Structure 1
Amino acid sequence: MVNTDFWRNKNVFVTGHTGFKGSWLCLWLHSLGANITGYSLKPPTTPSLFELCQLEQHIPTHYADIRDQDTLQKALLAAKPEIVIHMAAQPLVRASYLNPVETYETNVMGTVHLLEAVRMAVKKGITIKAVVNVTTDKCYSNKEWPWGYRETDVLGGYDPYSNSKACSELVTDAYRNSFFQNGVGLASARAGNVIGGGDWAPDRLLPDCFRTLSSGGKVKIRNPHAIRPWQHVLDPLSGYLILAENLYAHGTRFAEGWNFGPDDGDGKTVDWIVKQICSKWGNNASYEMDSGQHPHEAHYLRLDCSKAKSLLGWFPKWNVEQAINKSVEWTKEYLAQGDVKTICLQQIEEYSKS
């Protein structure tokens, strides 16, 4: 469970804070009383959760590229963070096929630039106790096994996105071994397919479904039998926060890679997920197969989260049906022109008390 008292007045530097997960994280941290500084490109979609919740009014923000080392280092030095959470990334598999160079530059060299900025800040006397690099479950060399991948399994990645995140893991390990053996707790966090309200990214299942359903269309699905570890966005975010708390308190003891995925029963097929969405949406919502040509995507992927459960005391709270319910509830409130920030905070409070 997240220690709500811990975060009050903590100085936290968050990269990628204008994205879907970053916005939820900042809403949560702000509600806990943390002092957040954000570093990111402008929100990647229109609309965006960041803008709808007016987060710029509450979070000092540097709009800049993670590949701009000088600007990044100046921003981090000015923020004087105690905790750094690195989420800035090119996060889409299909986009990585179209722009592989940009994907590697952002996901690999972006990590190098962030960790180098931390190293320079520490040399200048800033006490940074915890750094969490958020990667992905797709960083593993996927053998399509029926069992979950553990943190000790081989890294890899078929496509440029997945592979770049494996590279980011290796960069993290090298900096941890070379520069952060004393004082700075540096860890990586690997989560599954995250869903929730406020995601408008292209080529993601739920946003694609909601865009189509809200316009009265029929959902098209690419890989109906693909199985993914679906989870509500608050589940992995709680893991990142609990991990940061432990890094802060215990330093290098928790400076490793960590899986934050759903329970095994929540590994569902795309077909199952879309059926649930259509059922909960109502209005005779339906779907059909997309018979077009599509680039390779993994068929089966599962995480073994025994380590986080045993050593961090972290557990997923909302199962996949609850995650879908919360996502549909949020989206319908948005379409009805409701106060989405209030809905977010209500869901965060409900999650925290569950």
Structure 2
Amino acid sequence: MTKKVLITGFTGQVGSQLADFLLDQTDYEVVGMMRWQEPMDNLYDLTGRINNKERVSVFYADLNDFSAIARMLEEVRPDFIYHLAAQSYPKTSFNIPIETLQTNIIGTANLLEGIRQLKEKNGFDPVVHVCSSSEVYGRAKPGEVLNEDTKFHGASPYSISKIGTDYLGQFYGEAYGIKTFVTRMGTHSGPKRSDVFFESTVAKQIALIEAGFQEPIIKVGNLSSVRTFQDARDAVRAYYLLSQESYKGNVPCGETFNIAGEDAYKLPEVIDLLLSFSSRHDIKVETDSERLRPIDADYQMFDNTKIKSFIDWEPEIPTSKMFKDLLDHWRDEIKKGKVPLNR
């Protein structure tokens, strides 16, 4: 029988690219959970298949509505659940802390509690990937390499919400035997990356400047951060491989994994690399105080040893290609007449 996959956060960069991967690499049926008013920009390449019911469909629900989550689980009964939905913007979380905590913590609890109740009712037993974040480590010390045992340090309402998400994934696995695993993904990017994230807003601004919609000045926030980058398309491959090992019983319930790129950049180096792909040589960079966070995660370097001991995986897409693809994505959007906000 063909297996079913449920993806929460279906309309996001990672959710939509995970759907692309699964449709291309497996014979699974894919169900994407979304709220009815969410933008469809990242799904236009799939709308034909969705309309024709070719192995992919949409289920409208909201993480904050337990009855909708319970109905979705009962009707879909997926073999695999990739829980990617979240309020995922750290800087935005300072402005909407309650919504961030509600969606990411209580929303995750709604999903996991719905799974627990259905498991007790009739043996429902899916593999559940809970997507946490490298932001759980917060403000790491310069030179510190982050592994799965590194102490958490909430540096934003978002990071605190993901600490709660992380613990929920572990708890429901350990307490109720639900086949959960938790990933703490470092900075990931590439095509479809939201423009609220650093490298994407820089790429978007370059594309706007090239098209004549912005003066040749890139506005940025804190540039003192050092972090690794990986392409989200590499990350979804790791998600899939971990889910397969969990299905086979090779991943203990509630296990946690770092997953990050292995190329480290200072943020000014990211700007220089993106600018190297442009024919414009008059672009300047200015700090915009409105783009600064009250607290920032300035240093994020990760140890991928654990995940590599469970799956045969390593990042394959060069970061230079990832950044180039991201810039080309914004160029293509603008050519289509989709002029984005300057934020």
- TM-score bracket, normalised by the shorter chain, equals 0.7 to 0.9
Say if 1:333 and 1:33 are closer, same or farther in 2 by CA, change over 3 A: farther
| Structure 1 residue 95 displacement after superposition | 0.9
The aligned runs of 1:196-275 (5 Å cut-off) are 196-199=190-193, 201-216=194-209, 217=214, 218-250=217-249, 252-253=251-252, 255-263=254-262, 266-275=263-272
Indicate which of 277, 284, 287 corresponds to 2:274.
Answer: 277
1:69 Cα deviation (Å)? 0.6
Conserved? CA contact 1:258–1:307, under 8 Å? yes
Matches within 5 A, 1:1-354: 9-31=2-24, 32-42=26-36, 44-45=38-39, 48-51=41-44, 53-54=46-47, 56-57=50-51, 58=53, 59-180=56-177, 184-199=178-193, 201-216=194-209, 217=214, 218-250=217-249, 252-253=251-252, 255-263=254-262, 266-284=263-281, 286-293=283-290, 294-295=292-293, 296-337=295-336
Check the 8 A contact 2:129/2:180 in 1, yes or no.
yes
Q: Does the residue aligned with 2:277 lie in a helix, a strand or coil?
A: helix
Give the distance between the partners of 1:192 and 1:63, measured in 2 at CA.
29
**Cα drift, residue 315 of structure 1:** 1.0
Counterparts of 1:146 and 1:100, CA distance in 2: 30
CA deviation digits over 1:75-127, x for unaligned, max 9? 11111111111011000011110000000001101110110111122223354
Inter-partner Cα distance in structure 2 for 1:196 and 1:63: 27
SS at match of 1:18: coil
Check conservation: 1:83, 1:128, Cα contact below 8 A.
no
**Residue type of the alignment partner of 1:190:** R
Specify whether residues 329 and 9 from structure 1 end up closer, same or farther in structure 2 by C-alpha distance, changes over 3 A only: farther
Count of residue pairs the alignment pairs up:
324
- Percent of aligned pairs sharing the same letter: 21
Structure 1 residue 246: Cα displacement: 0.5
Q: Do the aligned partners of residues 206 and 304 (structure 1) sit closer, same or farther apart at CA in structure 2, a change above 3 Å counting?
A: same
Give the letter aligned to residue 79 of structure 2: E
C-alpha RMSD of matched pairs (Å) = 2.3
Counterparts of 2:229 and 2:282, CA distance in 1: 21
Shift of 1:211: 2.9
The worse-fitting range, judged by mean Cα deviation, of 112-121 and 201-210 is 201-210
Q: Deviations 1:56-88 (Å, cap 9, x if unpaired)?
A: 435321222111011011011111111111011
How far 1:29 moved relative to its partner? Answer: 1.2
Q: Which moved more, 1:20-29 or 1:284-293?
A: 284-293
Number of the residue aligned with 1:3: none
Contact 2:135 2:154 in 1 (8 A): yes
5+ unaligned residues in a row in structure 2: which ranges? 337-343
Q: Secondary structure at the match of 1:317?
A: coil
Instruction: Give the direction of change, closer, same or farther, for the CA distance of 1:81–1:275 in structure 2 (3 Å limit).
Output: same
8 Å contact 1:129–1:247 — kept in the other structure? no
Mapped to 1, the partners of 2:42 and 2:121 lie a distance apart of: 35
> How far has the Cα of 1:231 moved from its partner?
1.1
The alpha-carbon distance between structure 1 residues 145 and 254, as it changes in their structure 2 partners (threshold 3 A), is farther
The TM-score with structure 2 as length reference comes to 0.87
* Higher mean displacement: 56-65 or 190-199: 56-65
Alpha-carbon distance, 1:326 to partner: 2.6
Letter matched to residue 71 of structure 2: K
SS at match of 2:88: coil
Q: Could you say what secondary structure the match of 2:289 adopts?
A: coil
Q: Normalised by the size of structure 1, how large is the TM-score?
A: 0.85
* Contact kept in structure 2, 1:11 and 1:35, CA below 8 Å: yes
Q: Which runs of 5+ in 1 are unaligned?
A: 1-7, 338-354
**Helix, strand or coil at the partner of 1:215:** helix
